[in-house]
Amino acid sequence: MSELKVKLGIDDFLEREEFKGKRLGLLTNSTGINGRLKQNIDLIVSSGFNLVKLFGPEHGISGAAPDGVGVGNAVDPKYGIPVYSLFGEIYRPTEEMLSDLDFFVYDIQDVGLRFYTYIYSLAYSMEECARKGIKVIVLDRPNPLSCKVEGPTIKRGFETFVGGYGLALRYGLTVGELARYYNAAFNMGADLEVVPMENYDRNMYFDETGHPWNTPSPNIPSLEHALLYTGFCLFEGTNLSLGRGTVHPFKYIGAPWIDPELLYREVSRLNPPGVAFRERSFIPAAFRLSNTVCHGLEFFVTDKRCIEPLELAIDIISTVRKAYPEEFEWDLQYHGADGRYHFDLLMGECIYRQKIEEGATSKDLVAMWTDEERNFEEYIKPFRIY
């Protein structure tokens, strides 16, 4: 493999003698690889560190469990180390889980969007470690979507495990910078150290880091999918399929009752930048509308810096709602919505859904959150490392 452009936090951590001999807990998953694609667990053990406990987020430490499915505790088959799940019955590491640890290490590839539950496993772990006086070490990794900030912030009363801590929808921070933000903005009081990357520029997208894409979860198999996820996650707040259960989640959207020719014509009128699309039928093998023929569109990112997936998703939802008023519904169940509008939880408050119901377009909504976006970007400046 050729020389890599960005040196990851894990690569620097392995060179740090001061961490050896200390009892380490590691929150990670299959994305915790170094610049040579070697798994961090193997590297930490073989380098002489005392790794005594492992922790796994949503999808488990293997990264293989389906979306939203609880994961149980286990034992690492190779090293016999206990593995504690932080997604299932328990979301915060307990006092027993943290007992006898000197350091709590976090090493997971993020996607840069507040829907992603890994970042809340980090926040909860920081809070619990602060209470126990355990130092937290975050091994930094690239934000695959660059430092761009986009979208509204989460409001009080709408915090969930898919949105919280006042974050903008696309927050523009690496996971190490995010940890610094959490610690200061929410007075966590954690003894925090970020092991930074080298040769990293915050304007980079992941395909510019010199690293191959390392699938962070089952439904984000490429950078293209991550870019579309920025906006198309909002379809989880409706009764449309967004392609979960197919080979291309977030690239397909549709439903049995949609006329793809009509939808193609209406979306073409929007002339969305940075994206191409075509009519597409598909059958999800799981999740919403599983084993049902859905008709809709397939999307292709043509310019990662120009695409506006958040605005595009809002306009498609608005279009579908107007074209199919009898069939279209807002979701009240997904990801623990429990009778609340899941779209509201994803957007951070109820006003955006209400405005769409009144006929608003993405331009109307963007104007509503522009100040929030600008204020968030200004607020996070002290927490940037790069």
Quote the pLDDT of residue 4: 66
Domain end call among 190, 214, 238: 214
Measured between alpha carbons, how far is 40 from 146 in angstroms, rounded to an integer? Answer: 24
Q: DSSP characters for 10-55? A: HHHHTT-GGGTTSEEEEEE-TT-B-TTS-BHHHHHHHTT-EEEEEE
Please, which pLDDT band fits residue 339 given cuts at 50, 70 and 90?
Answer: confident
Same domain, 227 and 188: no
Asked whether residue 45 falls in the same domain as residue 143, the answer is yes
On whether both 15 and 72 belong to a single domain, the answer is yes
pLDDT in tens, 232-287: 999 999 999 999 999 999 999 999 999 999 999 999 999 999 999 999 999 999 88
CA 272 vs CA 1, 276, 314: distances in Å: 38, 8, 12
pLDDT more than 70, % of the chain: 98
Q: Is the pTM of this model over 0.85?
A: yes
Whether 59 and 65 have beta carbons less than 8 Å apart is answered as yes
Based on the fold, state whether residues 191 and 275 are members of the same structural domain.
Answer: no
Per the model's pLDDT, the better-predicted residue between 139 and 340 turns out to be 139
Edge-to-edge strand order for the sheet containing 252-255?
252-255, 294-301, 275-282
239 shares a domain with 200:
no
Strand pairing class (50-56; 23-28)? parallel
How many domains in the chain? 2
200 and 53 within one domain: yes
Residue 240 domain flag:
yes
Residue range(s) defining the domain that contains residue 291: 223-349
Same domain, 52 and 192: yes
Clarify whether residues 126 and 237 are in a common domain. no
Question: What does the pLDDT average to over 152-174?
Answer: 95
> Are residues 132 and 49 part of one domain?
yes
Report if residue 380 sits inside a domain: no
**Residue 356: inside a domain, yes or no?**
no
Shared domain for 140 and 274, answered yes or no, is: no
CATH number at residue 123: 3.40.50.12170
Confidence category of residue 114, pLDDT binned at 50, 70, 90: very high
296: in domain: yes
Q: Is residue 39 part of a domain?
A: yes
CA–CA distance, 365 with 374 (Å, rounded to integer): 15
pLDDT higher than 60, residue 370: yes
Each residue's pLDDT tens digit, 45-93: 999 999 999 999 999 999 888 888 889 999 999 999 999 999 999 999 9
- Rg value, the chain, Cα: 21
Mean pLDDT, rounded, for 345-365? 96
What is the overall mean pLDDT for the chain? 95
Answer whether residue 1 is part of any domain. no
pLDDT of 350 higher than 80 = yes
- Is the same domain home to 227 and 207? no
Q: What is the pLDDT of residue 2?
A: 43
For residue 180, is it within any domain? yes
What's the CATH number where 228 sits?
3.90.1150.140
Do the domain assignments include residue 382?
A: no
- Among 191, 214, 237, the domain-final residue is 214
206 and 236 inside one domain: no
Is it the case that residue 299 has pLDDT exceeding 90? yes
pLDDT above 70 (res 337): no
Distance of CA 116 to the CA centre of its chain: 3
Report the pLDDT averaged over residues 113-128: 97
- Residue 1 pLDDT class (50, 70, 90 cuts): very low
Is residue 364 scored above 90 in pLDDT? yes
Final residue belonging to a domain, choices 214, 232, 264: 214
